[in-house]
Amino acid sequence: MAQPVEGFSKRSKDEKIRWLAENYTDYPEETQRLLKQYWNSDAQLQQLHDEFIENTISNFYLPLGVAPNFLINGKLYAIPMAIEESSVVAAASKAAKYWGCRGGFHAEILGTEKIGQVHFQYHGPKKGLQSFIEAITPQLLQDAEPITRNMEKRGGGVTGIELRDRTDGLDGYYQLHCRFETRDAMGANFINSCLEQFATTLLREAGNHPDLGGEAQPIEVLMSILSNYTPGCLVRAEVRCRVEELEAESGMEGAEIASRLVRAVQVADCEPYRAVTHNKGIMNGIDAVVIATGNDFRAVEAGVHAYAARSGSYRSLTGAECTDGMFRFWIELPLALGTVGGLTQLHPLVKLGLNILGNPGAPELMQIVAVAGLAQNFAAVRSLVTTGIQRGHMKMHLLNILNQLGATEAEKTAVVDYFRTHTVSHSEVVARLNALRQMP
């Protein structure tokens, strides 16, 4: 049985691997070989990766693909996508080609505001607290000026500070609700630094302030932290065409497909069980580009799903309608992204990904990412209401199944050719492979 380990972070990488392999795996030698197999042969590059996090033992690779032919606001993009799910890049590419000859994607920024909060406790009269916050706001901004100076030169900075009373939910709970513009940076470190300075000023100014009753310590700061919920940092993307321009499929004409697409989105908008899967498909496309461009996909996921539930019920992130013979399909969601700072300047493949996109600023990247999510959703919903999702998905998954079964290259070629005209399922692939292996 493994025992607690002391000073693990101070051990060499080889020592960490050996300890882990010997104490937690069934085949220690194989474990050590496997982990080292994924080290980069370039020692300098491997050191860069090692220093991203603590206790690095190896690299965990994701395929990096590209979805070409995305026409967005009249400009053609090839979009890098880092993801392991087999059908995502194929679906995005298919949607890009589909809409490329129908006017492409149209995207716009609705806002770029980000939020941070100083959470604190106060049990005195609210009127005095409000007067106090209004009085010290200029001082809050002045004390943070060394932090905000460079951001302001780039057109960003603190855009608002307000007191919010949340005592309806928790006794004595108030917050400084602060708004920020961070330009091409995602801005987490900038926002958090500002907030911690605000907290310092708040406590200093609160001591014996007459509006707070002259108490020595009337306010207790609990924490100062940015919010990953950014409903003011919004982007919208859309496709549209005449109904008759929608390509017929599975015996359905454009009008029927349009009607079914609209109805499918309406189902996701009113049924949370469907909405979760519907939106997860959107995030397949979004997360893949977010990861490939060095952004925080966990923050994006959290903010997007909170936005989907802003009405009190979890709903679709996309909308669709047919009006006056026009079919429209759109998405609106918050995306707090950055193209400077963090991994964008460190990870070689992230720098390459941004270069492939033409080195966009944050607003342009927001539009690209939103389009990737919209394309993914269109491809998925169109498959669902026409051929069904499994036919295309399982064909893309076929090579994964064959690799799991240890198929040779010759066997892969034969099985893939067979399933060009047959329905793919795991059991049918096993049966077909076994049949091949029994042939003389």
Asked if residue 89 and residue 29 are part of one domain, the reply reads: no
What would the pLDDT profile of 243-263 be if each residue is shown by its tens digit? Answer: 999 988 878 999 999 999 999
Whether 63 contacts 292, CB under 8 Å: no
Give the C-alpha separation, 419 to 432, whole Å. 9
241 and 106 in a common domain? yes
Whether residue 220 sits in one domain with residue 248? no
pLDDT tens digits for range 109-121? 999 999 999 999 9
* Coil vs helix vs strand at 66: strand
- Regions of the chain short of the pLDDT cut 50: none
Last residue within a domain, chosen from 167, 194, 226: 226
Question: Amino acid identity, residue 121?
Answer: Q
Cα 129 to Cα 213: distance, rounded to the nearest angstrom: 10
Beta-strand runs (E) in 166-218: 173-181
What confidence score (pLDDT) does residue 233 get? 98
Active-site annotation, residues: 85, 280, 296, 393
Q: Are residues 162 and 292 in the same domain?
A: no
Residue whose C-alpha is closest to residue 376's, from 7, 81, 144:
81
How many Cβ atoms sit within 10 Å of the Cβ of residue 287? Answer: 26
Are 133 and 197 part of one and the same domain? yes
Q: Residue 248, Cβ neighbours under 10 Å: how many?
A: 13
Burial class (CB in 10 A: 0-12, 13-18, 19+), 9: exposed
Question: Is 397 part of a structural domain of the chain?
Answer: yes
* Residue 423 token pair: 């329905």
* Shared domain check, 306 and 177: no
The enclosing H or E element of 328 equals strand 326-334
Residue 60, domain member (yes or no)? no
Helix (H) or strand (E) run with residue 367 in it: helix 362-385
CA distance 62 to 83: 6
In this prediction, residue 158 carries a pLDDT of 98
Residue 1 lies in a domain: no
Place of tokens 């036919």: 391
CA distance 330 to 213: 53
Look up tokens 């492939």; give the residue.
Answer: 356
Q: Is residue 343 part of a domain?
A: yes
Q: Are residues 373 and 298 in the same domain?
A: yes
Question: 345 Cβ partners below 8 Å, 6+ apart?
Answer: 351
Token readout for 143 is 């004390």
Give me the pLDDT at residue 418, please: 78
Which residue, 198, 226, 254, sits at the end of a domain?
226
- Residues 220-234 have pLDDT tens digits of 999 999 999 999 999
For the chain, how many structural domains are there in total? Answer: 4
Q: Look-up: residue for tokens 């549209």?
A: 240
Same domain, 317 and 357: yes
In a domain, 62, yes or no: no
Residue 428, pLDDT score: 77
Structure confidence at residue 394 (pLDDT)? 59
What is the enclosing helix (H) or strand (E) of 141?
helix 126-143
Same-domain pairing of 138 and 197: yes
Structure confidence by residue, pLDDT tens digits, 359-406 = 999 999 999 999 999 999 999 999 999 976 555 555 566 777 877 888
- Of 310, 360, 304, the C-alpha closest to 334 is 304
Give domain status of residue 58, yes or no: no
Round to whole Å and give the CA distance between 37 and 32. 8
Nearest partner of 108 among 68, 155, 73, judged by Cα: 73
- Does residue 241 share a domain with residue 294? yes
Angle (nearest 5°) at CA 134 between 132 and 136: 70
The reported pLDDT for the residue numbered 333 is 98
Strand order in the sheet with 157-165: 157-165, 173-181, 114-122, 219-226
Asked if residue 22 is part of any domain, the answer here is: yes
Q: Residue 27: which domain range? A: 8-50
Domain-terminating residue out of 189, 205, 226:
226
CA distances from 86 to 89, 244, 399, 431 (A): 7, 31, 9, 22
CA distances from 226 to 239, 324, 386 (A): 33, 44, 43
Question: Are residues 383 and 268 located together in one domain of the fold?
Answer: yes
Is 409 found in the same domain as 382? no
Distance in angstroms (rounded) separating the CA atoms of residues 190 and 147 = 7
Contacts of 315 (CB under 8 A, 6+ apart): 268, 269, 270, 272, 275, 308, 309
Q: What is the pLDDT of residue 425?
A: 74
- Residue 365 to residue 14: CA distance in whole angstroms: 39
Looking at residue 343, which CATH number applies to its domain? 3.90.770.10
Residue 171 lies in a domain: yes
Determine the straight-line distance between the first and last CA of the chain, rounded to whole angstroms. Answer: 50
**For the chain, percent of residues with pLDDT exceeding 90:** 81
